[in-house]
Amino acid sequence: MASSSHLTESFTNPENYSFPHQRLSRVLHNPDKTPIVLVACGSFSPVTYLHLRMFEMAKDYVRQNTDFEILGGYLSPVSDMYKKPGLLSARHRVNMCTLAAEDSDTWLMVDSWEAFQSYQRTAIVLDHFDHEINTVLGGVHTASGEHRRVRVMLLAGSDLIGTMSEPGVWAYSDLEHILGGYGCLIVERAGTGMDQATDSLARWRSNIYLISQLIQNDVSSTKVRLFLRRGLSVRYLLPNTVVDYIEQNGLYQDETTPNLSASISSEKGKEKEASASGSKKEKEAH
């Protein structure tokens, strides 16, 4: 059951902000199912086909293994205040996500609420979606007119659930709010053991849905950035519209990487540290 109480009583919106819901289904087609919306929070610097593929894997998993019905999916890029290595400005990241979502499917959207303001904890971001969908929009209805509350769920890679399982990184109250209140769908990422990552999260195991990659894909934003800095092609790793945007704006050309393999290992180490540091913000906010 989605959380009915929020961690804040009010939400501050960026200037000229409006919640995107043009692709959000407002009718629950199967009244026997629970309506859900998937939210993926991340840097998306840049957004890759694996980010988009996560939504498709989640859709297949939900259809075959759960009593949920997906009404929409959202990419929520983090704020510039996240201070992650390789993090491009929010404007560019939101633009690239928007191009990717428009080019990929009919149920994906990009919400810029998190991107264009100060750093917001993941728990607050999910509360924002719950507020906009269930309070502002009024939830959804069945074909017969019955009102239903939509359950917001976090969609993430197993690397994120790995940080949640590390002692002291996330505040327990936020884990309870996210995993206990909303729940999450976790997609396997190459090199990350999902079972091990969830061992210390056993309290919320019934609310964590693990999705295996049947076709392994280890494309990452880190590798894409390093390819671009080397002048290597990234076509077919990202949507063509995103590749064109990167080329037109001359993005990710600020460094040279003489040793690609070493640079990938080095930058992934920095990103792991940044991920832990950013997650600690979740804890320090309390």
Residue 95 inside a domain? The answer is: yes
Q: Where would I find the H helices in the chain? A: 49-65, 90-104, 122-130, 158-164, 172-175, 194-198, 221-230, 240-249, 260-284
Residue 265 inside a domain? The answer is: no
Q: Report whether 40 contacts 73 (CB < 8 A).
A: yes
**Over 50: is that where the pLDDT of 267 sits?**
no
For the chain, how big is the Rg over CA atoms in Å?
18
Q: Which of 74, 89, 70 is nearest to 28 (CA)?
A: 70
Enclosing domain of residue 208 = 27-249
pLDDT of residue 189: 77
> pLDDT > 70: what percent of the chain?
84
Residue 266 inside a domain? The answer is: no
Residue 269 inside a domain? The answer is: no
Average pLDDT estimate for 124-131: 98
Number of domains in the chain: 1
pTM summary value: 0.88
Choice among 61-70, 142-151, 257-266 with the minimum mean pLDDT: 257-266
**Over 60: is that where the pLDDT of 280 sits?**
no
pLDDT band at 217 (very low <50, low <70, confident <90, very high): confident
The larger pLDDT score, comparing residue 161 to residue 24, is at: 24
Residue 257 inside a domain? The answer is: no
What's the pLDDT tens digit per position in 65-113?
A: 999 999 999 999 999 998 777 689 999 999 999 999 998 778 999 999 9
Check which CATH number belongs to the domain holding 176 and give it.
3.40.50.620
Residue 274 inside a domain? The answer is: no
**Over 60: is that where the pLDDT of 262 sits?**
no
Residue 286 inside a domain? The answer is: no
What integer best gives the mean pLDDT of the chain? 87
Residues ≥6 apart with Cβ < 8 Å to 19: 111, 113, 132, 136, 137
Distance CA 98, CA 273 (A): 28
**Over 60: is that where the pLDDT of 248 sits?**
yes
Q: Report whether 186 contacts 156 (CB < 8 A).
A: yes
pLDDT of residue 264: 44
**Over 80: is that where the pLDDT of 196 sits?**
no
Distance CA 43, CA 53 (A): 16
Average pLDDT estimate for 233-260: 84
Q: Classify residue 174 as exposed, middle or buried by CB count within 10 Å of its CB (0-12, 13-18, 19+).
A: buried
Q: Centre a 10 Å sphere on the Cβ of residue 30 and count the other Cβ atoms it contains.
A: 12
Residue 278 inside a domain? The answer is: no
